Amino acid sequence: MLTTAPPATTGPDRAASAPSRTLLLNASYEPLCIVPVRRAVLLLLLDKAVLEEAWDAVMHSEHLVLEAPSVVRLHRYVRVPRRSRVPVTRRAVLDRDRERCAYCAGRADTIDHVVPRSRSGPHAWENVVAACRRCNHRKADHLLSELGWTLAFTPAQPRATVLGASGHHRHEAAWEPYLEWFGEGRAEVA
């Protein structure tokens, strides 16, 4: 991981293309949050974390060369208080469904109530899905059975996690194994 810094060389600087975010895991491999790469490097240098995955880039200091961390795991377990229920918000629904329409699998930018509110449908996780504008407009206040439509998955309440509440809805592909293992991904496919 750490090496002695080589003498200055000419050529492309890979550090310029290094991503600026790192996934921070608890000692149990549970995703905690997304931190700046600089914070992750500090945790590594203070021996408070171990490097799990690195970006294809290096970071240079005066005396060290360090792989740019993509995923780091804390040495000690940190107990984090959790909410028992995640609030139903537009951003949270879009995150849960990975910004994919539940009807056509296109890019979603709105939310839709499966059983419309005008027909006494609740504003609950099990009744709200992400939808593209076109499908949301076509569905309007109809039931799925009236249109002959089906859902691509069964909507469910996501797990309450710090990462899910952190506002970071864009995840790197390298993080997927860690996020899927702890249910940070899309609702189960029906």
DSSP label at 100? B
Each as own residue / partner, the long-range contacts of residues 74-77 (CB below 8 Å, 24 or more positions apart, any chain) are: 74/24, 74/25, 74/26, 74/27, 74/32, 74/43, 74/48, 74/49, 75/27, 75/47, 75/48, 75/49, 75/50, 76/27, 76/48, 77/26, 77/27, 77/28
Query: Is 90-147 a domain of CATH 1.10.3720.10?
Result: no
CATH 1.10.30.50 segments of the chain: 90-147
pLDDT confidence of residue 166: 46
pLDDT confidence of residue 170: 62
Report mean pLDDT in 10-residue bins for the chain, 190 residues.
46 55 91 91 95 90 90 93 80 89 95 95 95 95 94 85 52 79 44
pLDDT confidence of residue 141: 93
pLDDT confidence of residue 66: 87
pLDDT confidence of residue 77: 94
pLDDT confidence of residue 5: 46
Tokens (6 digits) for 79: 């107990």
